[in-house]
Amino acid sequence: MVRVQADYFDLEQICRSGQCFRMRPLEGGTKAGYEIVAGERYLRAVQEGKECEFFCSREEFDGFWKEYFDLDEDYGRFIRQINPRDAYLTAAAASGSGIRILRQDLWEMTVSFLISQQNNIPRIRRCIENLCREYGQRRVTSEGEEYWGFPRPQSLAVLREDELKACNLGYRSRYVVRTARSVASGELDLVRVKDMPYKKAREELLKAFGVGEKVADCICLFALHHLEAFPVDTHIRQVLDAHYKRGFPKQRYRGIYGVLQQYIFYYELHGDKGCPVLSCDPEKT
């Protein structure tokens, strides 16, 4: 077990932020506990105040989870850059100040945000869990916890285009299957995409079937850690229309748009508005 004191880090806020779908709260205990599955890895973590306990070896924490949670970054510096006269953004950052932009797997995020289209968060979670149970590899932790790894492109590329409807993906089934075929064949080279700057990576992702601008920006932000990405769904659009009629001040916040987008999205999500629909561009044909 690894114990860490961390500022600007809140597992609950991260879990509810809409950027990851295989993290869930655990019942019982005096501390807030969470289960996180990332690719083929499993982690149980608990938090009380600033103190976090990660139930893994120091080697695994330093080799994977520390980077996954972006714990080397000072998120206070992002908040300190916010214009104090911007009451809305100041309130949004205060509301979600424990959020960090996770460094997640590119393939997993591509599939996850293809599934997210015109969908709500609980249903996205169920769809991904169904997908992993059906096509991922079953694993068991040293404590006997059972979980499933995220399915590889090759496992999905051989399916019929409508076969993932059985996992409740609906019309998104063909998006995932066709994209899996592109990745498995090398037509969409995710290794190359990882090394591309934001605009080039976004351009390459937009070539994938079913990937529109919002989905591409989500993948760039939550998998490639391109903080220039600023995904705009209906909720963000409403905020822009209400508070930033002349446009979001990107010049002031160059290079950290994605962090601020998460504060805004969480603030809107946190305000008794029910479970949001993660809307995005109309499907490609």
Return the active site residues. Answer: 214
Max Cα distance, the chain (Å): 55
Question: 3-state SS string over 5-74?
Answer: ECCCCCHHHHHCCCCCCCEEEECCCCCEEEEEEECCEEEEEEEECCEEEECCCHHHHHHHHHHHCCCCCC
What are the two backbone dihedrals, phi and then psi, of residue 116, each rounded to the nearest 5 degrees? -70, -15
Please check whether residue 108 is in contact with residue 129, taking contact to mean a CB–CB distance below 8 angstroms: no
Residue 242: partners with Cβ closer than 8 Å, 6 or more residues away: none
Bridge partners, 25 (sequence order): 34
What the block records as the tokens of 111 is: 């599939």
